[in-house]
Chains A and B, each alone.
Chain A
Amino acid sequence: MTLDVAWAVDWVRRSAQAVAEHRDELVELDRQIGDGDHGENLNRGFTAVVAKLDALEEPPAEIGDVLKLVATTLMSTVGGAAGPLYGTAFLRAAKATAVPELDTNGVVALLEAALEGIVVRGKAHTGEKTMVDAWTPASEAAATASGEGASPAQALAAAAEAAAVGAQATIPLVATKGRASYLGERSAGHLDPGARSTQLILQAAAQAAA
């Protein structure tokens, strides 16, 4: 069983829908420990992505083409740190998926490349209350599932679940990266909005594959 370009397009559309539905929640999370623009910015970015998908005459040939469109559009339209962070994640993921179909190893490669992009761009490590805290366990869970012979859909389901756990685990953390780090100790007790949006996007990937 493999995932194709239609899956990638569906993933992106479902991500856009999830971000739109949770826009206010993300705004509120970011207002507590950041500048309050995460929901607004991400929603603007994914709305622009969907508009570009709608404008395509025919679907792209490779999964990487879809992800590259997401990357460049998010970088240009998001406005906040999520733009270059998700933009770089999708760009690295696109380079790792220049194929028409993905098997489970391909899914793992996609997630690892995305994580690497975020780490390179944000210079963050786990435990600093950022989206890395959701991406890292997600990537690891997919790799573990792959080792146990999981299908691509099962690997994505494992990744989404791990991202959810990782996002929740950011609540007690004190932020040392990003705008929330200006709050120091006061950032503890709040869910990191970037980890939350990561959870939503990986959930969308799993749902599109189910």
Chain B
Amino acid sequence: MSEREPAPVALVLVSHSRVLAEGAVELAGQMAPGVLLLAAGGTEDGGLGTSFDAVEAAVLRAVADGRSAVVLADLGSAVLTAESVLDLADPDVVERVRIADAPFVEGAVAAAVTAHGGADLERVLAAAEHAGTMFGADAVRADAGEGGEGAVDDGVVRGTATLRNPLGLHARPAAIVARMLAAYDAKVRVNGANAASVLELMKLGATRGAELRIEAEGPQAAEARDALVAAVHEGFGEV
């Protein structure tokens, strides 16, 4: 964990399986070290199921110190247990907690990275819930519709960079890209993918030697592009 104060929005990951909840915390935490991530998986005795007490304890810890929290749950009873916890919680806790209708792992990663950038509750929630649409048929159609070929001089700043690190644009570098670009007032796309989205970047499957086409728009488009090109050239600290 970061030594800084955790981000204002924490995540509670509720699973039937303790191992799955802890694994999701580990995975999301790698990309968002500044976010308080709490696992609430399995029953009290370590079996499969969800524990009201464990979820309640995690939610209360998540919202301590004035934080808000997004809860992600895997299957039916995990959602029901989380809802029951909120049913019985104090109103001032309830108003700072949202249960995301999102895929467990993908939603956790997307929400964690967004929370790491200091986003507020509704934006973190939206990031989790949007994660679901990136893997279905809709996502494929959206990709097909945005080739970007034939674009003319329309204020878009372009650049290219070749991946140098051995594993390419895997989870950690993708998170670095999404996080660093959050600092710029610019919309950036990499090979057509939204560079603010870790999941879209990872879906590119770009490996070492792949050329990245960078397109940036907005007041700080050039700075964002330059920062990204530099980070790619440095191999994200992995070479």
Residues of A near any B CB (own CB < 8 A): 35, 37, 41, 75-85, 87-88, 91, 121-122, 178-179
Min CB distance, A134 to chain B, in Å? 18
Contacts of A178 in B (CB 8 A): 76
How many angstroms from the CA of A85 to the CA of B87 in the assembled complex? 12
Asked if residues B84 and A81 are in contact (CB atoms below 8 Å), the reply is no
- How many A-B residue pairs lie within 8 Å, measured between CB atoms? 54
Min CB distance, A124 to chain B, in Å? 11
Min CB distance, B86 to chain A, in Å? 11
Q: Would you call B185 an interface residue if the criterion is a C-beta within 8 Å of the partner chain's C-beta atoms?
A: no
Asked if residues A84 and B49 are in contact (CB atoms below 8 Å), the reply is no
Q: List 30 A-B contacts (CB under 8 A).
A: A35-B48, A37-B48, A41-B49, A75-B81, A75-B84, A76-B51, A76-B52, A76-B53, A77-B44, A78-B49, A79-B47, A79-B48, A79-B49, A79-B51, A80-B49, A81-B76, A81-B77, A83-B52, A83-B84, A84-B52, A84-B80, A84-B84, A87-B52, A88-B84, A88-B87, A121-B80, A121-B84, A178-B76, A179-B75, A179-B76
How many angstroms from the CA of A41 to the CA of B49 in the assembled complex? 9
How many angstroms from the CA of A87 to the CA of B84 in the assembled complex? 8
Interface flags, B40-64, vs A, CB<8A=1, else 0 = 0001100111111100000000000
Interface range, B side: 10 to 19
Contacts of B51 in A (CB 8 A): 76, 79
Min CB distance, B73 to chain A, in Å? 11
How many angstroms from the CA of A93 to the CA of B137 in the assembled complex? 44
Contacts of B87 in A (CB 8 A): 88, 91
Residues of B near any A CB (own CB < 8 A): 43-44, 47-53, 75-77, 80-81, 83-84, 87-88
How many angstroms from the CA of A88 to the CA of B84 in the assembled complex? 7
The 10 closest A-B pairs by CB, nearest first: A79-B49, A81-B77, A84-B80, A75-B52, A84-B84, A79-B43, A76-B52, A80-B77, A84-B81, A76-B53
Min CB distance, B12 to chain A, in Å? 16
Contacts of A91 in B (CB 8 A): 87-88
Contacts of B80 in A (CB 8 A): 81, 83-85, 121-122
Task: Apart from A83-B50, A84-B84, A179-B75, list 20 A-B contacts with CB within 8 A.
Answer: A35-B48, A41-B49, A76-B51, A76-B53, A77-B44, A79-B49, A79-B51, A79-B77, A80-B50, A80-B77, A83-B52, A83-B80, A83-B84, A84-B52, A84-B83, A85-B80, A87-B52, A88-B84, A88-B87, A122-B80
